[in-house]
Amino acid sequence: MSVLAIYTQEYRKKCIFFYKNTQIILIFMNIILYLWAKYKPISAKFYNFAQMTKYNIREKREKDAAYRHLLSPALANDLKERIIDIIVKQKKYKDKDYSARQLAADLSTNTRYISAVVNLKFQMNYSSYVNKYRIKEAMTMLKNPRYKSYSMEEISSMVGFSNRQSFYAAFYKINQMSPRDYKITELELLKESTPPLGDEPVPGDGSVS
């Protein structure tokens, strides 16, 4: 057998080998794409579960307040407005030591009534209600360049959280992202939407007709 024939035979073997392996790779990729498309919702749920585990978030099913039947509509509405006044308007949510027990004492009632009213009027428990306003203020601070140099611990303390872990857990539960990721995203959007100084119109520039 000539050298050329041997070379041609070896070349054909390599081509066949390459072709077979390429087919196997393509089949494997198609299987992966099929599985990814089929189980994408499950993957998203798994990712969400992983993040919730990371930040120690537990799904809680809100239970009907046991003392709803003891609350008259007038009393429930009155307590609702007074809770809003203290927690929101007076910004008691920023006080990390201000508990439902203290709120009940300030309203001359008990924690069971507080729990029932918050559950009935705001469809959440006391901790979630307070954290909602803490996170709302934290979001405002995180996207404000004025607080760019502040650490997450400083931000969390300023809005009323006693520790960083609680802040991260509450933030992720509401926004489905960490405070750090939110800060980076919002500051980048702000940077893109702010025109360069050179593009600003010069006062007095332009002709007068």
What is the per-residue pLDDT for 207?
45
What is the per-residue pLDDT for 8?
63
Give the distance from CA 5 to its chain's centroid.
67
Is 147 strand, coil or helix?
helix
What is the per-residue pLDDT for 29?
73
With vertex at residue 58, the alpha carbon angle to CA 55 and CA 62, rounded to the nearest 5 degrees, is 140
Prediction pTM value: 0.65
Residue 120 DSSP code: H
Alpha-helical (H) ranges within the chain are 3-54, 73-84, 100-106, 111-122, 126-142, 152-158, 164-175, 179-193
Upper half-sphere CA count for residue 46 (Cβ side, 13 Å): 5
Single-letter residue type at 99: S
What is the per-residue pLDDT for 86?
97
What span, in angstroms and rounded, lies between the C-alpha atoms of 93 and 130?
Answer: 6
What is the per-residue pLDDT for 31?
74
Single-letter residue type at 203: P
Q: Is the dihedral of CA 117, 122, 125, 131 positive or negative?
A: negative
What span, in angstroms and rounded, lies between the C-alpha atoms of 88 and 163?
Answer: 21
Tell me if 160 sits within 8 A of 134, measured CB to CB: yes
Local confidence pLDDT in tens for the 209 residues of the chain: 565 555 566 666 666 666 667 777 767 776 776 666 665 554 544 545 455 555 555 544 445 455 667 788 999 999 999 999 999 999 999 999 999 999 999 999 999 999 999 999 999 999 999 999 999 999 999 999 999 999 999 999 999 999 999 999 999 999 999 999 999 999 988 888 776 655 555 555 544 44
Single-letter residue type at 113: Y
What is the per-residue pLDDT for 24?
77
Single-letter residue type at 18: F
